[in-house]
Chains A and B, each alone.
Chain A
């Protein structure tokens, strides 16, 4: 009774996978900024993944994930035509999108995929979207073609300079902020240090900055508080109050500490999974 994988594509071999999943009830309701909770198998863990795109006519949602541990590895091992046991959503508050002028959407690593859906939403609302994408190297960039389709400007930064600016997305962002164009909002999705750095850059310019927090989640529907984070001194639940928050108000140090809570157990699960895979193979 699972959810069928209609398409599977390895975007970055051995690292990042994209899947198009048949889930009409979710596709009908999904908005930019929403995520799903999914479980690959009966004994697996529920994990959150952002809805990177949706096609309500076809009844599909797209997820893009980086293999970092057991669940993402197990997912990546599934094939086209296979099934994901549980997919629950769309969850979280959708991105607040209104016609506001120019919006800069910054994506780092796998976060580019999540940013894509939000950038698309802003473009559909009539905003001029400047996309800024960053990765370690050219071959790790995602969704550039898709973004180019609706972003009049696509700026690239790579650590090694193999594409675009050699350096960080924050440096490109600073250029844009200095260019004199009025920026209504900056949206940043990616690794926590990147979102923190983006928020630090935009603060002196007084530009509204939205970040999407990837805190640890258990149910994804407000029942456990695992995903709680401190924003503006208040405890909020990323799954029901977020996942997007004011980047200038988030306590990033706390978020980083909380992301590592289960490191040992996660490694245990991964080691067992790799062993099982080898036995099977």
Chain B
């Protein structure tokens, strides 16, 4: 490999080993299997070690990418992991789910003429390999944060997080690592937010998330599941109980519907419902779990983001023989991660682009029978730079289906917001914060993640959590 470096011949990117498309469409095991040590080293060697790397600025938390890849090339796994952890508390998660093509890899110098370095895959390799090496016990504390401090050294300094998605997990890890005692209040019965109830097992195994949560527990973080902020406990209650700061990371979970006829027919679901039943409720293993999921022969998914791809691929695995994704624009505009779209198509999902949903129709029992769509064409680019779809007059099509999953976005959940009238909101109804500190209109109440930005990404939620945690630490310590 040394001679490769001198000659600077660019090898192709090391392909990610994956389960065979046919086989995986019938199971819920992880699709991308992860690099072996040898593959990771070969891929790491592709990095040009640029003097002024551009990738780092492409990462929302500015991981020292060159640094961790160098450590990997030197076969110093612990150091590579350490570098990742300095700015990213969930590398095993991000390596799997970040839209790298728009972030670090999109900014990689090599990507201008060749394929960019597979930064996400290397990140995942380092996190997974380090976890395997350290096992579950010895360094849980170290593994969960960038500092050693397993028992809160300042238990009188208390912080509460509401919600347990990536934003709150980041806050908890950062502060617990600095000796502050953190309690996380979660409405559902399992911590992790979208990472457990939304993103399916075949893309992000629950064990990976559970491992991160266990690491935080080992650090002294307490998780209080079944506590609903605004119902079981209000922000005022938390301050009355002696918390010095509150972080609001409740996500943007309220599903949007289309507002078209027939939307409440039996067989029409929000992606959140469909995925929650199957992920949080483990309905994919229905013989051993009680939460039911709908079984359909022909499934239509509306939308084209990660959520839509997850729903479509889940429907295939749940036994639908025909699954199509209905989208108003063309494939090029689809917001999902490229890899997810490719995986979906390989598995047999049909993309029906340039189709806008018009109405659902059902039988006399109130059960879904089909979807009528309006055919579209691409028009001029709109303000966002994407081509806006225009209707082709009179051209409609009927798509027979017995299940439809709607994945067209979410809105802020009203529960905590209604219970906290002083919490300032922006014009879209999300929580307004100071961009530098994450502080809301209520002093010492911080917010970050989807509840501030609307549905975004894991890494941006973590970045917001980190900024807020830094400010909280500054004030409390």
A and B together in one complex: yes
State in angstroms the CA–CA spacing of A89 and B189 once bound together.
12
Contact of A25 among B232, B270, B290, B415 (CB under 8 A): B232
Interface segment, B62-70, B93-101, B280-288, B383-391? Answer: B280-288
Residues of B within 8 A of A230 (CB): 264
Is A109 interfacial (CB 8 A cutoff)?
Answer: no
A221 and B292: CB pair below 8 A?
no
State in angstroms the CA–CA spacing of A25 and B185 once bound together.
13
Is B132 interfacial (CB 8 A cutoff)?
Answer: no
Contact of B266 among A29, A225, A258 (CB under 8 A): A258
Q: How far is the CB of B412 from chain A (nearest CB, A)?
A: 10
State in angstroms the CA–CA spacing of A175 and B264 once bound together.
36
Q: How many residues of A contact B (CB 8 A)?
A: 44
State in angstroms the CA–CA spacing of A262 and B265 once bound together.
13
Q: How far is the CB of B421 from chain A (nearest CB, A)?
A: 15
Within A4-41, the residues touching B (CB, 8 Å) are 25-26, 29, 37, 39
State in angstroms the CA–CA spacing of A257 and B265 once bound together.
8
**Given A223-B253, A225-B273, are A87 and B226 also a contact pair (CB < 8 Å)?**
yes
Is A229 interfacial (CB 8 A cutoff)?
Answer: yes
Proximity bits, A230-247, B CB within 8 Å = 1, else 0:
100001010010000000
Proximity bits, A183-227, B CB within 8 Å = 1, else 0:
000000000000000000000000000000000001101111110
Is A153 interfacial (CB 8 A cutoff)?
Answer: no
Proximity bits, B149-185, A CB within 8 Å = 1, else 0:
0000000000000000000000000000000000000
**Given A43-B290, A44-B290, A262-B294, are A88 and B413 also a contact pair (CB < 8 Å)?**
no
Residues of B within 8 A of A98 (CB): none
Is A83 interfacial (CB 8 A cutoff)?
Answer: no
Residues of A within 8 A of B290 (CB): 43-45, 70-71, 269
Residues of A within 8 A of B102 (CB): none
Within B85-124, the residues touching A (CB, 8 Å) are none
State in angstroms the CA–CA spacing of A262 and B283 once bound together.
12
Proximity bits, B349-377, A CB within 8 Å = 1, else 0:
00000000000000001110000000000
Residues of A within 8 A of B17 (CB): none
A26 and B232: CB pair below 8 A?
yes
Contact of B187 among A25, A221, A258, A268 (CB under 8 A): A221
A224 and B270: CB pair below 8 A?
yes
Which secondary structure dominates chain B's binding surface?
Answer: loop
B366 and A39: CB pair below 8 A?
no
Is B276 interfacial (CB 8 A cutoff)?
Answer: yes
State in angstroms the CA–CA spacing of A268 and B281 once bound together.
16
Q: How far is the CB of B409 from chain A (nearest CB, A)?
A: 13
A225 and B257: CB pair below 8 A?
yes
State in angstroms the CA–CA spacing of A189 and B294 once bound together.
28
Q: How far is the CB of A24 from chain B (nearest CB, A)?
A: 11
B187 and A224: CB pair below 8 A?
no
Is A265 interfacial (CB 8 A cutoff)?
Answer: yes
Residues of A within 8 A of B263 (CB): 235
A224 and B272: CB pair below 8 A?
yes
Is the interface on chain B under 10, 10 to 19, 20 to 34, or 35 or more residues? 35 or more
B228 and A89: CB pair below 8 A?
yes
Is A111 interfacial (CB 8 A cutoff)?
Answer: no
State in angstroms the CA–CA spacing of A228 and B294 once bound together.
16
Proximity bits, B258-271, A CB within 8 Å = 1, else 0:
01000111110110
B254 and A25: CB pair below 8 A?
no
Is B225 interfacial (CB 8 A cutoff)?
Answer: yes
State in angstroms the CA–CA spacing of A258 and B266 once bound together.
6
Is A146 interfacial (CB 8 A cutoff)?
Answer: no
Residues of B within 8 A of A272 (CB): 287
A261 and B294: CB pair below 8 A?
yes
Q: How far is the CB of B268 from chain A (nearest CB, A)?
A: 10
Q: List 7 tightest A-B contacts by C-beta distance, closest first.
A: A257-B366, A265-B292, A224-B273, A88-B226, A223-B253, A262-B292, A45-B290
Binding site for A on B (CB under 8 A): 187-189, 197, 225-228, 231-233, 253-255, 257, 259, 263-267, 269-270, 272-273, 276-277, 281-282, 286-295, 365-367, 413-415
Binding site for B on A (CB under 8 A): 25-26, 29, 37, 39, 43-46, 70-71, 85-91, 218-219, 221-226, 228-230, 235, 237, 240, 253-254, 257-258, 260-262, 265-266, 268-269, 272
A-B contacts, 19 listed (Cβ < 8 Å): A29-B231, A43-B289, A44-B289, A86-B225, A87-B226, A89-B228, A89-B231, A91-B228, A218-B276, A219-B188, A223-B413, A224-B273, A230-B264, A235-B257, A240-B415, A257-B366, A258-B266, A269-B290, A269-B292
